[in-house]
Structure 1
Amino acid sequence: MMKVVIVAILALATTLVSAYDPSPLQDFCVAINNTDSAVFVNGQFCKDPATVVANDFFFSGLNIPGNTAANKLGSSVNLVSVNNFPGLNTLGISLARIDFAPYGLNPPHTHPRGTELLVVIEGTLLVGFVTSNPNKLFTKVLNKGDVFVFPIGLIHFQFNIGETNALAFSGLSSQNPGLITIANAVFGSTPPINPDVLIKAFQLDKSVVDYLQKQF
């Protein structure tokens, strides 16, 4: 009996560890805002199935190029997640269009809740990710039609190394994958991280840390 219980516990633990977004227990659960609840979880309340329509499973606009001139990095990300596409709720997927100006950068960042699969539609991208300790870099130059995967939670980037605009689409294995942009998180948090921490962590002069915090 004890062996059976132990096996059951190990099986349950394995299931919990390997699960990201929970599997749906019904055909769909179109998200709907419910301000009556004070509890926020990584999910949504379900719209009454009787009131669901085809437009709940429809999103338009990914044919429109992003404004890469709106930031210093020369890139634009249009994320389609459960936050702007309610029909994705409980389905464990999301999508992004990423536009790059010449030499535009989607800076080092992580998605804490999703693996990313990127396909290049136009242009040439230098992409890569860094593993946890030891910090090994896996990098590759991608051309039109190439595909690259960034494992969940790992720091990764995409850089347009061409002299023309580039375009890529990404699929992510979560309805709400999250985004932590490393530079913004470290130097632009609210309230700011104590400069003494950053000085010691990055082995920088205080003037450099002060400058970087002002940039973000």
Structure 2
Amino acid sequence: MHPSLLPIALYALAASAAPAPAPAPYPLHRRDQNSSANNQALISALELAPTAKDRLALLTPSDFLYDFASPPPGDAITTGLGGRTVKADSKLFPALIGTGVSMTLGFIGPCGFNTPHVHPRSSQINVVVEGQLKTQFIAENGVDAVENTLGKWQMTVFPQGAVHTEWNPTCDPAVFVAGFASEDPGVQQSTQTLFKLDDDVVRAELGVETLNGESIEQFRDQLPENVALFVEECLARCDIEADPAPNQGGPSEGGPWSAPSSALA
């Protein structure tokens, strides 16, 4: 072989022996809005990407758009008799991976009550963008409760892990925007979680055998799901009929007030 042809031959041999690149485990073409949600292959690839630049290369422009008025299927929406909340976390909105932030919108109807809860992995900033909310939190044992009334465009903060709650004391709808310093802040309803423990543990904690004449097991079934309705005085003032049945609501159920899509505008 002519010496000048030797490098060309070696290059061609190496190229033919190289393995073909592995196919991507997710479609890299432009996806429809929200179609990246719950996409485990994409989520895993984003979490394993060595740099932010590599993560961006896995995403399309539509992956950076999240529609709170029409969120993806899954557990984005929590609905009760008093309103609903809509969240965007790293599972529902994978573009958040690597950013360290997430968000929830809350639509609290007249006398609506976002029941006491904690976020185990993040503090929360809470901005009222419509109506009025009362807020309260207790950061830890041995400190006083902090309570405020927030009007439109006013904000408060709930420290990470603090038990906190918001309720609407008026007869008009309220809307809040909650920002988190975590892609997956988590949420744990305080009372509902307590009553998920063994009956003996709950009896020992409360120091009683029955509540309202019912056993712990029966009383557990009467606990409201989030978002609930608030005190009798507010219900009477706003002419809202209290439900004699448990104050329950599921992810797809409505209540006496349900936020229209226009409330997002």
Please report the TM-score for the alignment, with normalisation by the length of structure 2.
0.59
CA contact (8 A) 1:102 1:164 kept: yes
Q: Which runs of 5+ in 1 are unaligned?
A: 1-29, 38-42
Task: Pick closer, same or farther for the CA change 1:200–1:124 going to 2, 3 Å.
Answer: same
Match of 2:12 in 1: none
Gaps of 5+ in 2: 1-35, 224-265
Match of 1:100 in 2: 108
C-alpha separation in 2, matches of 1:51 and 1:201: 50
TM-score for both structures, normalised by structure 1 = 0.71
Answer whether contact 1:77 1:98 (CA < 8 A) is retained: yes
Q: CA deviation at 1:135?
A: 4.2
Give CA deviations for 1:32-69 in whole Å, capped at 9, x if unaligned. 6239x8xxxxx8344765442111211123489x989x
Amino acid at match of 2:151: N
Structure 1 window deviating more from structure 2 (126-135 vs 151-160): it is: 126-135
Comparing 45-54 with 121-130, greater Cα deviation is found at: 45-54
Query: d(CA) in 2 for partners of 1:149 and 1:49?
Result: 31
Shift in Å at residue 90 of structure 1? 1.3
Q: Does 1:125 align with 2:133?
A: yes
Q: What corresponds to 1:136 in structure 2?
A: 144
Counterpart pick for 1:169 among 170, 177, 194 = 177
Counterpart-to-counterpart distance in 2, 1:180 and 1:116: 14
Tell whether 2:203 aligns with 1:199. Answer: yes
Quote the Cα distance in structure 2 between the aligned partners of 1:143 and 1:184. 29
2:97, 2:183 within 8 Å by CA — same for their partners in 1? yes
Aligned Cα RMSD in Å?
2.8
Write the distance in 1 (CA, Å) between the matches of 2:155 and 2:112.
19
Indicate the percent of aligned positions where both proteins have the same amino acid: 25
- Counterpart residue number, 2:220: 213
User: Is the CA contact 1:111–1:152 (under 8 Å) kept in the aligned structure 2?
Assistant: yes
Give 1:179-194 correspondences, 5 Å limit. Answer: 179-187=187-195, 189=196, 193-194=197-198
The separation in 2 between residues aligned to 1:76 and 1:83, in whole angstroms, is 19
Q: Which has the larger radius of gyration?
A: 2
Q: Matches of residues 26-175 of structure 1 in structure 2 within 5 Å?
A: 33-34=40-41, 44-46=47-49, 49-62=56-69, 70-72=79-81, 74-175=82-183
Structure possessing the higher relative contact order (Cα contacts under 8 Å, 6 or more residues apart): 2
How many residues end up aligned between the 2 structures? 174
